[in-house]
Structure 1
Amino acid sequence: MKYIIIGGDAAGMSAAMQIRRGDSSAEITTLEMGDIYSYAQCGLPYVVGGVIDSFDSLIARDVQTFRDKYNIDARVHHEVTSVDPTNQTVSGDGFTLEYDKLLIATGASPITPPWEGLDLDGIHTVKTIPDTKALMNDLKDVSRVVVVGGGYIGLEMAENFVKLGKEVTMIERGERVAKIFDEELSDKIHKEAEKHGITLRFNESVESFSGDGRVQEVITDKGSIETDLVVIAIGVTPNTKFLKGTGLHLFSNGAIKVNAFMKTNIENIWAAGDCATQYHRIKERDDYIPLGTHANKQGRLAGRSMIGKPRAFQGIVGTSIIKFFNLTLARTGLSEAEIKAEGYPFRTIAASIPHIAGYYPEPKRMDIRLSYHAETEQLLGGQIIGEAGVDKRIDVLATALYHRMRVSELEDLDLAYAPPYNGVWDPVQQVARRK
């Protein structure tokens, strides 16, 4: 059986390992357009800031390990430019390969609008190790950095540039950064940025870049900003353009539509990871939230499905977390804006509560927001911002959302208690009781 996997990172290699473990005689070929396999993209900003000392620390398994230990034909610099579902082949520059079963795990690429001056030196994106190496090699004599975009990558890069002593400006075309959080929490995030010297510019749109060979100014609809380096972090788009004409069903943004077993609408073709859709358990429909957690799960399940040992992907609830200087920002489920877009009647309860017993030394307050269906009381979303204890609580809420619990049922959970870790009523339960 000939298995071909396009893409050598999280989803692709998770699938390859499942295939190898389930079928020792399988002929597995993986095609990677770059030359690095299986690395943690989420760690890249922390290599820039020196928190992680080496790119090597981010690599789970190198190419040679896949070849020698797992007998996988792991190829590098093999970019697939077309797929022929009728003849079951994939092709690129100088190669055409036949497959019995195909997995598309091509990931996503940073969005870069066709701004004038985009080709100037000093303008970067952060998605791959080569991207990040190029950025780090370009940091010499850089004192001013502009980050375009106020999402997770933008915030992480801004923090790590500050750690390096850079003067950082963030440009956001909307009214606030981290728009996946409710507006009521924005002020805390903005104050944390400003406390660390970041200049925030809202309701401002980039129009072009200027400079003599190297970027020197960012031109916006409100003026210009002098800079030595620019990072563009305004989102990603699925790498699926090469699939035009295949007949594969695509989501509105170009992601490949898959079922619970990662199958596409075409026989013998699967898809997984940042190039594919994810089923959202709260919205009860396909969505697109590209994260490493989803890519690894989907890749693993795609591999099982391809060898006839299927297990269904149970979907996502929209959980994410980020460190931003002294704060942890976490959310799960739907924000108020998303709930309104879905048309659910809802209520939101909120409070600021210590992360441990209030009498124990050094309690840190957490701002917690819980949204729930006004009629059924089903929990719809939770958001927490604080200096400590946030990760523990957001995972409780994510589990509750997964099981479609009512907000009142949070009171019934048997959660760990000791004064250094919690109060007798967990902060999540304290908020839920305010319903």
Structure 2
Amino acid sequence: MRYVIIGGDAAGMSAAMQLVRKDNQADITVLEKGEHYSYAQCGLPYWIGGEIDSEEKLVARTADTYRTKYGIDARTNHEVTSVDVSKKIVYGDQFEVPYDKLLVASGARPFIPDWKNPDLKGIYTLKTIPDAKRILSEITGQKRNITIIGGGSIGLEIAENVCKDGHQVRILERSARLAMNFDKEMTDHIHEKAIEKGVQLDLNHDIIGFNGDDNGNVTSIETNLSVCETDLVIVAVGVRPNTQFLEGTGIHFDQNGAVRVNRYMETNIDCIYAAGDCATQYNRMIQKDTYAPLGTHANKQGRIAGLNMSGNPRAFKGIVGTQIYKFFELTLARTGLSSREIEEMGFPYKCVQAKLPHVAAYYPTHEPLVIRLQYHAESGAVLGGQFIGTKGVDKRCDVLATALYHGMTMLELEDLDLGYSPPFNSVWDPLQQTARRRS
């Protein structure tokens, strides 16, 4: 069986390893347009910030490892330009590869809207190791005036990590607040931390474009409200699926260009699968396909794709919308639906919020933990939760994500048997204490 995989990162190589393990006769070719396989994109901000001290630590397995240890034809600098679904051939500028089964795991690319002068020098996005190298070369050893466009998770992670070494940092955000997938009652804590750390927040700014000097270097950003001087820009306003090479194949796409897949990662074209940031993900909370490009989903979907391609059927069970990241000392986490998302669904709902110690209140290391829960006003079903604090956030978010996966109610949260010892928890976990405060 000739398997061809387009994309050599999380989804693609998770699938490839299942094919190696499940099909002893597998002939696997992976076509990667860049130079790196299986690298940790989520670690790039921390490499820029010095928390990770080398590029090598971001690479799980090199292309050469896949070739020599697993017998995979792992090619680099092979960008696919088209696919002929009738002939079952993948094409690039100087190559063509036939397949029996094809996996599209081409990921996503950073999105830059139709702004004026986006090609000026000093304007960057962050998605790949070469991207991070370029940014590092600009900020190492000199103080820069850095503007980050976008106040979502990536923008906040970048802001934290470039704040070091005395750089002046500004975040430009088109909305009225940062982290729009959190409720306003929670984002106030994020704003306070940004201001405390010297990050300038310019909210409600719609970008018009960039201005530059005679040498083509960016010097300022024009918005609907002002002109912001800067000498380096990092754009973090989202990504778009890398699926343009599939035009004309008859493959079905979502509105944003992501490949539509079923629970077995199959597309509507026979013998073609898709997984990861180029594909849709089924959301259990709203019971429909969505687009949530995260490494966790890419690895799971890739593994499922590999199993199904090799004749070992397994369904992707879906996501509940869990996300966690840090912003300076704060840990920010959410799972399920926000208040805005619930309102869009039309559910009757209520919210309850509490600020509690993350362990026993009398234990000397306790830290404040803010928890906000959304639940169905009639059935009591948990609909979502948000968490902000310096300690204990990840544990509570993961417990709630598990509860959401299984459709639990607020009352059932109280019945969970969770670990207790003063250095680790209260006799009633803060998540349960919050659930008990509902009206």
CA contact (8 A) 2:325 2:333 kept: yes
Q: How does 1:235-314 map to 2 (within 5 A)?
A: 235-314=238-317
User: Which residue does 1:4 correspond to in 2?
Assistant: 4
User: Which residue does 1:413 correspond to in 2?
Assistant: 416
Alignment partners' CA distance in 2, 1:363 and 1:142: 37
CA contact (8 A) 1:103 1:271 kept: yes
User: Which residue does 1:169 correspond to in 2?
Assistant: 170
Secondary structure of 2:139's aligned partner: coil
Please point out which of 367, 382, 385 is paired with 1:382.
385
Q: Residue 4 of structure 1 aligns to which amino acid in structure 2?
A: V
Alignment partners' CA distance in 2, 1:119 and 1:64: 34
CA contact (8 A) 2:143 2:166 kept: no
Q: Residue 299 of structure 2 aligns to which amino acid in structure 1?
A: N
Alignment partners' CA distance in 2, 1:383 and 1:282: 15
Residue deviations 1:372-409, cap 9 Å, x none?
A: 11111111001010111101100000000000001110
CA contact (8 A) 1:142 1:229 kept: no
Percentage of identical aligned residues: 58
User: Which residue does 1:94 correspond to in 2?
Assistant: 94
Are residue 426 (structure 1) and residue 420 (structure 2) matched? Answer: no
Q: How many pairs were matched up? A: 435
Alignment partners' CA distance in 1, 2:166 and 2:28: 47
CA contact (8 A) 2:143 2:168 kept: no
User: Which residue does 2:185 correspond to in 1?
Assistant: 184
Are residue 335 (structure 1) and residue 373 (structure 2) matched? Answer: no
Alpha-carbon offset, residue 86 of structure 1: 0.9
Alignment partners' CA distance in 1, 2:410 and 2:287: 19
Q: How does 1:119-198 map to 2 (within 5 A)?
A: 119-140=119-140, 141-198=142-199
Secondary structure of 1:69's aligned partner: helix
User: Which residue does 2:65 correspond to in 1?
Assistant: 65
CA contact (8 A) 2:182 2:386 kept: yes
CA contact (8 A) 1:142 1:228 kept: no
Are residue 363 (structure 1) and residue 369 (structure 2) matched? Answer: no
Residue deviations 1:217-252, cap 9 Å, x none?
A: 111111211112100000001011111111111111
Q: Residue 171 of structure 2 aligns to which amino acid in structure 1?
A: M
User: Which residue does 2:77 correspond to in 1?
Assistant: 77
**Following TM superposition, where does structure 1 have runs of at least 4 consecutive aligned residues deviating by more than 3 angstroms?**
none
CA contact (8 A) 2:282 2:318 kept: yes
Q: Residue 42 of structure 1 aligns to which amino acid in structure 2?
A: C
CA contact (8 A) 2:4 2:30 kept: yes
Alignment partners' CA distance in 2, 1:274 and 1:424: 41
User: Which residue does 1:227 correspond to in 2?
Assistant: 230
Are residue 21 (structure 1) and residue 21 (structure 2) matched? Answer: yes
Please point out which of 402, 420, 425 is paired with 1:399.
402
User: Which residue does 1:52 correspond to in 2?
Assistant: 52
Please point out which of 212, 220, 224 is paired with 1:217.
220
CA contact (8 A) 1:14 1:299 kept: yes
Distance 1:142 1:206, change over 3 A: farther
Residue deviations 1:64-100, cap 9 Å, x none?
A: 0000000000011111111111111110101111100
Q: Residue 103 of structure 1 aligns to which amino acid in structure 2?
A: L
Structure 2 unpaired stretches of 5+: none
Alignment partners' CA distance in 1, 2:115 and 2:205: 15
Secondary structure of 1:256's aligned partner: coil
Alignment partners' CA distance in 2, 1:400 and 1:352: 21
Alignment partners' CA distance in 1, 2:35 and 2:345: 42
Alpha-carbon offset, residue 142 of structure 1: 4.1
Residue deviations 1:323-346, cap 9 Å, x none?
A: 101110000000000001111111
Alignment partners' CA distance in 2, 1:242 and 1:343: 37
User: Is the deviation greater in 385-394 or in 141-150?
Assistant: 141-150
Residue deviations 1:249-306, cap 9 Å, x none?
A: 1111110011111001110000000000000001000011110000000000000000
Alignment partners' CA distance in 2, 1:13 and 1:128: 16
Alignment partners' CA distance in 2, 1:77 and 1:362: 51
CA contact (8 A) 2:143 2:165 kept: no
Q: Residue 386 of structure 2 aligns to which amino acid in structure 1?
A: Q
User: Which residue does 1:118 correspond to in 2?
Assistant: 118
CA contact (8 A) 1:172 1:204 kept: yes
User: Is the deviation greater in 107-116 or in 172-181?
Assistant: 107-116
Alignment partners' CA distance in 2, 1:26 and 1:130: 32
Alignment partners' CA distance in 1, 2:165 and 2:62: 29
Q: Residue 118 of structure 1 aligns to which amino acid in structure 2?
A: P
CA contact (8 A) 2:375 2:382 kept: yes
Secondary structure of 2:245's aligned partner: helix
Output the TM-score relative to the length of structure 2: 0.98
Secondary structure of 2:166's aligned partner: coil
Secondary structure of 1:28's aligned partner: strand
**RMSD of the alignment, in Å?**
0.8
Output the TM-score relative to the length of structure 1: 0.99
Secondary structure of 1:329's aligned partner: strand
Residue deviations 1:8-37, cap 9 Å, x none?
A: 000000000000111122110000001110
Alignment partners' CA distance in 2, 1:222 and 1:179: 20
Alignment partners' CA distance in 1, 2:74 and 2:287: 37
